[in-house]
Amino acid sequence: MIISRVTILGPGLLGGSVGLAALAAGYEVVLWGRNAERVAETCALGLQATTHFEEALAGADLVILAVPVGVMPQLSEQLKGQLKAGAIVTDVGSVKGLPHQMADQVKIPFVGSHPMAGSEQTGIAAARADLLKRAACVITNDQDRPGNEVAAVGRFWEDLGCKIVPMAAAEHDRAVARISHLPHAMAVAAASAALRTPSDGRLAAGGFRDTTRVAAGDPAMWAEIMIENREALSEALTDAQNEIREMLDQLAKSDKKGLQEYLAEVKLRKENPIPKK
């Protein structure tokens, strides 16, 4: 399968960044959005964009759902009967279980994607062509699509600078609950606890900014992601709660040696996250 023309549904930060990177990589790219003003902003970046759904889909080899996960089922219904023969659908969603369930229900040819790249900024104005450089991109194939389709989707992301990581949807959702959704939740908790006295923010420096940066992300988008992945995230938050309890216990006992050993163990784990073979 050869991908030449790419249609991106959703001109936001990620959709716009994928569009810019794909255009730079030599693909023919068109973005679709309902909002005429946002489509105009997209065109101002040098990308082709339209509010006309059928026009955007015409001739597309690859259709990318770059919309909130909750919107995907509705758009997928609209895709039925609009795809050209041999076209494949993918997405950029932060959870993979729901998109694959959706693909089963509406019977569209679907291979899941999740480029692990983003920003606390939102909207097409924040899009960058280099956002995906050196990012891991998870590919999920719970629909058991043919190998040539999966390979073509993988090549597309590689052309944009990503490193492909094949996974099952359930394993993806478990992993991102730990390394993406949990850090966001903890950043929110840290910012909330730290700013109980708002005037203390005057003293905030690099540590506070680095730890809480992602708490500035879009609340609507993150609430949806967290709810969709609530089982795996709840398990991760419970583990984080236990880690905090351990530190509280060491503080209550003035256990400096135990606390230092705990901090050193976690520091080592952070610096060497992947065990050497």
Contacts of 117 (CB under 8 A, 6+ apart): 14, 17, 131, 132, 135
Cα separation, 85 vs 70, whole angstroms = 27
Exposure on the CB side of residue 268, measured as CA atoms within 13 A: 7
Please report the pLDDT score of residue 275 as a whole number.
58
| pLDDT (0 to 100) of residue 32 | 96
Instruction: Judge whether residue 87 has pLDDT over 80.
Output: yes
Average pLDDT of span 75-89: 89
Residue 35 amino acid letter: N
User: Do 206 and 138 have their domain in common?
Assistant: no
Q: In this structure, is residue 112 part of a structural domain?
A: yes
| Same domain (yes/no): 107, 159 | yes
Whose structure tokens read 């938050």? 237
Which residue from 36, 104, 98 is spatially nearest to 72, judged by alpha carbons? Answer: 98
Q: What are the pLDDT digits (tens) for 184-232?
A: 999 999 999 999 998 988 988 999 999 999 898 889 889 999 999 999 9
The pLDDT-based confidence of 75 (bands split at 50, 70, 90) is confident
Whether residue 238 is found in the same domain as residue 128:
no
Domain shared by 101 and 216, yes or no: no
- For residue range 139-169, list pLDDT tens digits in order: 999 999 999 999 999 999 999 999 999 999 9
One domain for residues 155 and 192: no
Q: How many domains does the chain have?
A: 2
148 plus 180 within the same structural domain: no
Report which residue type is found at 184.
H
Maximum average pLDDT range among 25-29, 99-103, 130-134, 267-271: 25-29
Model pTM score = 0.86
pLDDT band at 272 (very low <50, low <70, confident <90, very high): confident
Position with higher pLDDT, 82 vs 231: 231
Beta bridge partners of 53: none
Q: Are residues 22 and 42 in the same domain?
A: yes
**Burial code of 7-36, b = ≥16 C-beta within 10 A, e = fewer?**
bbbbbbbbbbbbbbbbbeeebebbbbbeee
Burial class (CB in 10 A: 0-12, 13-18, 19+), 260: exposed
Kindly report, residue by residue over 31-60, the tens digit of the pLDDT: 999 999 999 999 999 999 999 999 999 999
Domain assignment of residue 105, yes or no: yes
- Residue 36's pLDDT is what? 93
CA dihedral 68, 189, 269, 97 (to 10 degrees): -20
- Does some domain include residue 247? yes
By three-state DSSP, how is residue 161 classified?
A: coil
- On average, the pLDDT of the chain sits at 92
- Residue 4: pLDDT over 80: yes
Minimum mean pLDDT among 172-181, 195-204, 256-265: which range? 195-204
pLDDT category at 174 given cuts 50, 70, 90 is: very high
Q: Quote the pLDDT of residue 120.
A: 67
Domain membership flag for residue 241: yes
Same-domain pairing of 150 and 30: yes
Per-residue pLDDT, 220: 87
Q: Looking at residue 186, which CATH number applies to its domain?
A: 1.10.3660.10
* Residue that terminates a domain, selected from 134, 152, 167: 167
Whether 99 and 73 have beta carbons less than 8 Å apart is answered as no
pLDDT for 201: 87
Flag whether 117 is in a domain.
Answer: yes
- Looking at 135, 167, 199, the residue that finishes a domain is 167
Residues 160 and 178 in one domain: no
Domain span holding position 50: 5-167
Q: What is the mean pLDDT of residues 110-130?
A: 87
Give me the DSSP letters along 35-81: -HHHHHHHHHTT-EEES-HHHHHTT-SEEEE-S-GGGHHHHHHHHTT
Does residue 120 sit in the same domain as residue 9? yes
Given CA atoms 22, 24, 25, 28 in this order, what sign does their dihedral have? positive
Shared domain for 200 and 142, answered yes or no, is no
Domain for residue 277, yes or no? no
Shared domain for 192 and 57, answered yes or no, is no
Q: Please report, for the domain that includes residue 99, its CATH number.
A: 3.40.50.720
Asked if the structure places residue 276 within a domain, the reply is no
Q: For residue 157, tell me if it sits in a domain.
A: yes
Pairing, β 48-50 against β 112-115:
unpaired
Vertex 38: Cα angle to 153 and 77 (nearest 5): 50
Strands 88-91, 163-166: pairing is unpaired
